[in-house]
Amino acid sequence: MKKLLLASLFACFVTIGVSQEIKYGVRGALNISNLDFDPDATFENKHRNGFAFAGFVDFGFSEELTLHTELQWSAEGGKDEDLRADYIQMPIMLKLSASERLSFGAGPQIALKTWKNSDGFSTFAFSGVVGAEYMITDELFIDARYSFGLSNILDEDLTDSEARNHVMQFGFGIKI
């Protein structure tokens, strides 16, 4: 809960600053996700292919520096039905432009579970996100992201095992 509060305060503090340019948009992505168990799982743990859909706002502080905030639904977890983990997520990435068309970003991501098989899973998850974005035109872009779980997604009161999500996303979007 403290991590959620810190991430929210960070987002509020940064978005209060004066932005030079604000852009809105939508994004869709293909997810390749899995869970890392500690200790290792005693069953075959296969990756899950899924989708992510999002709306976002980019706050431009300068031509090179942007704050990217997003509200995203993402299908994650493992392939087995009991390991599927769908989330509503809020990645907050600070993006730095390497050129006119290429930028790199990193930041925290908070998530709220939305899947039906929620027994044994915690309500919130916290991750780190890194990624790259390439502008095809002034509005259309492709991107790739990797999110790595920093928090245990299993309910600590019900099990001694830990599991963390890790997800590779390949996305396509439009900025308005």
Question: pLDDT tens-digit profile of 24-50?
Answer: 999 999 999 988 787 776 667 788 899
Confidence of residue 79 (pLDDT cuts 50, 70, 90): confident
What is the model's pLDDT at position 47?
85
Is the pLDDT reported for residue 13 higher than 70? no
Q: Are 46 and 34 a contacting pair, CB within 8 Å?
A: yes
Rounded to whole angstroms, how far apart are CA atoms 114 and 176?
29
Is the pLDDT reported for residue 12 higher than 60? no
Single-letter amino acid code for the residue at 106: A
pTM over 0.85: no
Rounded to whole angstroms, how far apart are CA atoms 145 and 105?
9
- The domains of the chain, with CATH numbers, are 2-7+21-175 (2.40.160.20)
Question: pLDDT tens-digit profile of 101-127?
Answer: 999 999 999 999 886 665 666 678 899
Which letter, b or e, does each residue of 110-125 get, where b requires 16 or more Cβ atoms within 10 Å of its Cβ? bbebeeeeeeebbeeb
Is the pLDDT reported for residue 159 higher than 80? no
